[in-house]
Amino acid sequence: FACLATVSNAQEAIYDESLIPEFTLPDPFTTTSGEVVENADQWINQRRGEILDLFASEVYGSAPPAPEEVRSELISYHANALGGKAIREEVDLLLGDEESPLVARLLIYRLQTDEKVPAFLALNFGGNHSIHPDPEITLNKNWMRNKPASGYENHQATEASRGASASRWPVEKIVERGYALVTIYYGDFDPDFDDGFENGLHGEYPGSGESISPKDWGSIAAWAWGLSRALDYLEQSPSIDGERVAVLGHSRLGKTSLWAGASDPRFALVISNNSGCGGAALSRRRFGESVRRINTSFPHWFCDNFLKYNDNEDELPVDQHLLIAAIAPRPVYIASAEEDRWADPHGEFLSALHADPVYRLLGTDGFGGDAAPEEMPEINQPINSGTIGYHIRSGKHDVTDYDWDQYLDFADRHLKSTDE
Ligand code: GTR
């Protein structure tokens, strides 16, 4: 434990299971006042709300209420995209100020069919135009992080960034499997740098007033809120089934998809790809990225109250298994990667495992179907028969075809069942 006390941001992270201090996770079935949750009603009506409030006040920050009306504008429509296989649309969501709203642009690919299709909704890191080389996707002009990939200069995307992230987005396959893909550049909602709550949704909806309160929403909450606003739009769409929308995200956007899915019960399925600290990984393990490290590198992601838990994880009134549990009984899939030790694959698996009793209380088949797994599965051996899915694949921090193949199978099972 002595070594932990000296861990500062510049020092080495823990990568050895034997250095993890002993800890006790908050019990899903004991309320803050010490009452024991005995049945599903009590979980849903009492404990779940309490957990969501704690995540809002101590971890991600509180978001404003949903706007009363959905404002949108069709920007482009192409009936024969992807070589004639799909419809491609761009739709602007207009948020906040009537005169000069914040604009978030949805890029949608879907099959040409009269039936409403289920959808994957996911934020992207490099602009909508980065997900596919399709030259007609609008090039995003907003502030971008400079990416290691070519095509980004001085925080701006250039033409050379078209399709830069295409390996993470098997668009044709998703559409052929009968799903719409809906994606939005995350920086349309909130640019990913610490600007003291000035720009993006923070500027549009200034939380509690003149000064920033320790509970005001960080960027993860803003991105998650943006996903809910996209769902507002999809619910009204004549071509997409708003009741069958899976929300998916990678890394910081995986943290975001989990918070979106937990805080907005309209999401039918939730997918976390390599989300790590502040996502699926248990904070108390302090393995790889710790609370202090994440708060130091990315002070704008969480609310200021989260700083209280730097080197003080045991005082957190929640841990990330409760975030997964708050999604129950809806299906959730957590994916890790073998070389992504920074995101603590074992801690991600344990969150799924410790959420399992809640899924079972709510009448689902939980993690692993008949019985929860006793140990982490082997590499590339998904556990996907229950309502909680999990895999650890070979390779690094990324989204690969292997990951998508599992998500598509999982979604087929949960969003396309014939007895609906
Ligand atoms: C890392 C960060 C992780 C993860 C990742 C990403 O630098 O430490 O928490 O979010 O970025 O989003 O790519």
* pLDDT (average), residues 156-172: 97
Closest by CA to 240, choosing from 248, 229, 232, is: 232
Using CB distances shorter than 6 Å, the residues near ligand 1 are 251-252, 276-277, 289, 294, 297
pLDDT bucket at 254, cuts 50 / 70 / 90? very high
Q: What number of other Cβ atoms are within 10 A of residue 92's Cβ?
A: 18
SS3 call for 337: strand
Q: Which atom of ligand 1 is nearest to the CA of 276?
A: 9
Q: Look at residue 11 in the predicted model and tell me its pLDDT.
A: 57
User: Is the pLDDT at 9 greater than 50, yes or no?
Assistant: no
| 359 contacts 324 by C-beta, under 8 angstroms | no
Share the mean pLDDT of the chain. Answer: 94
SS3 call for 4: helix
**C-alpha to C-alpha distances, 83 to 78, 79, 87, 179, nearest whole angstrom:** 11, 10, 10, 17
pLDDT bucket at 6, cuts 50 / 70 / 90? very low
Residues of the chain with pLDDT > 90, as a percent, come to 90
Catalytic residue annotation: 251, 397
| Residue the block writes with tokens 């704008």 | 300
Q: Side-chain half-sphere of 179: how many Cα atoms within 13 Å?
A: 28
Q: Which atom of ligand 1 is nearest to the CA of 277?
A: 9
pLDDT bucket at 196, cuts 50 / 70 / 90? confident
pLDDT bucket at 207, cuts 50 / 70 / 90? low
Closest by CA to 133, choosing from 93, 176, 169, is: 169
User: Is the pLDDT at 10 greater than 60, yes or no?
Assistant: no
pLDDT bucket at 203, cuts 50 / 70 / 90? confident
Residues of the chain with pLDDT > 70, as a percent, come to 95
**C-alpha to C-alpha distances, 365 to 70, 153, 267, 334, nearest whole angstrom:** 36, 49, 19, 16
User: 298: CA distance to ligand 1 center in Å?
Assistant: 9
Q: Look at residue 295 in the predicted model and tell me its pLDDT.
A: 97
Q: Look at residue 418 in the predicted model and tell me its pLDDT.
A: 59
Report the distance separating Cα 291 and Cα 309, nearest Å: 7
* pLDDT (average), residues 118-138: 97
| 338 contacts 403 by C-beta, under 8 angstroms | no
